[in-house]
Amino acid sequence: MDNYEKNYLSKRPENLCRLCGLCCRVATTSIPYEKLKQMRDEGDQGAIDFLSVFEPYPSIEDARKVSQETVDNVIEELKADGNYNEEEMTFYKCKYLDDNNLCTRYEDRLLLCKHFPASPWAIVPPGCGYEGWLFMKREEVKQKIRKVKEDLLELDLLKKKTKSPEILQKIDTVEKKMLRSIEVHKNHGSENW
Ligand code: SF4
Ligand code: SF4
């Protein structure tokens, strides 16, 4: 079990899902549709899987007719992060969801379905049962990053006190690792946490 599975996926309480079906009916990705098709044609498994179940709506307006709240929520979140580009925005519906919001291939569903929402930063439809839990997970990440920043200050003090090149080298290695852990979340504002 890798860290992601151990620290996130295995802790996801599946019973929080309210079976509203919105994540299957109005989905989107951070990758533009044209790029996604190119990736699928080049053999990218994630793109192959996604496009094997999801079909694009002809327009954003068509997706709005299904759930205006979901579409507008995604757009607002992306705008807030400075990542919104209307020309590259596509919404999708899954061809395996039936009229009762049930998955017609539930036992055989893809990992991308089993893992949803696959990250604390996933944008879920308003009212999704995972909203509160995802908020909590994001706060956990922020707390960890704040602790890393405190530890970096401690290391800085230690660096000033020591003259041993060996110790300084070790501190440097640890510092780089800690800075990388902050950098990973840069898109979500880790520099300001
Ligand atoms: S949007 Fe949330 S509550 Fe609705 S089906 Fe998807 S995971 Fe479940
Ligand atoms: S395959 Fe099933 S779980 Fe996956 S998106 Fe479609 S309806 Fe939802």
In order, the DSSP letters of 8-25 are TGGG--GGG-----HHHH
In this prediction, residue 148 carries a pLDDT of 97
Helices (H) and strands (E) in the chain, counts: 8, 2
Residues 170 and 123 in one domain: no
Residues 58 and 143 in one domain: no
Centroid of ligand 1 to alpha carbon of 16 (angstroms): 8
Q: How many angstroms separate the most distant Cα atoms in the chain?
A: 70
- Would you give the end-to-end CA distance of the chain in angstroms? 29
> Closest-lying ligand to the alpha carbon of 12?
1
Ramachandran class of 54: left when φ > 0, alpha when ψ lies in -120 to 50, beta otherwise? beta
In one-letter notation, the amino acid at residue 149 is: K
Residues 51 and 77 in one domain: yes
Residues 117 and 145 in one domain: no
> Closest-lying ligand to the alpha carbon of 25?
2
Residue 131, judged by CB atoms within 10 A of its CB (0-12, 13-18, 19+), counts as middle
Q: Flag whether 55 is in a domain.
A: yes
In this prediction, residue 52 carries a pLDDT of 97
In this prediction, residue 1 carries a pLDDT of 66
Residues 145 and 123 in one domain: no
* Best residue among 28, 52, 53, 114 to mutate for probing ligand 2, ranked by most atoms within 8 Å of CB: 53
In this prediction, residue 3 carries a pLDDT of 82
Q: Flag whether 147 is in a domain.
A: yes
Residues 24 and 113 in one domain: yes
Residues 125 and 142 in one domain: no
* Best residue among 15, 16, 23 to mutate for probing ligand 1, ranked by most atoms within 8 Å of CB: 23
Choose the final residue of a domain: 83, 99, 129.
129
- Burial 89-109, CB ≥16 within 10 A → b, else e: bbbbbbebbeeeeebeeeeeb
Residues 86 and 108 in one domain: yes
**Would you say 28 and 92 are in contact if contact means Cβ atoms under 8 Å apart?**
yes
pTM value is 0.86
Residues 27 and 93 in one domain: yes
Q: Flag whether 2 is in a domain.
A: no
Centroid of ligand 2 to alpha carbon of 121 (angstroms): 20
Residues spanned by the domain of 54: 12-129
In this prediction, residue 123 carries a pLDDT of 93
> Closest-lying ligand to the alpha carbon of 103?
2
In this prediction, residue 47 carries a pLDDT of 97
Residue 77, judged by CB atoms within 10 A of its CB (0-12, 13-18, 19+), counts as middle
What is the count of structural domains for the chain?
Answer: 2
Which residues in the chain come in under a pLDDT of 50? Answer: none
Which amino acid residue places its CA nearest to atom 8 of ligand 2? Answer: 24
Among 31, 34, 11, which Cα is nearest to 133's? 11
Centroid of ligand 1 to alpha carbon of 123 (angstroms): 11
Ligand 1 lining (C-beta closer than 6 Å): 17-23, 116, 124-125, 128-130
In this prediction, residue 124 carries a pLDDT of 95
Residues 34 and 113 in one domain: yes
Choose the final residue of a domain: 98, 129, 160.
129
Choose the final residue of a domain: 109, 129, 149.
129
> Closest-lying ligand to the alpha carbon of 13?
1
* Best residue among 97, 99, 107, 115 to mutate for probing ligand 2, ranked by most atoms within 8 Å of CB: 97
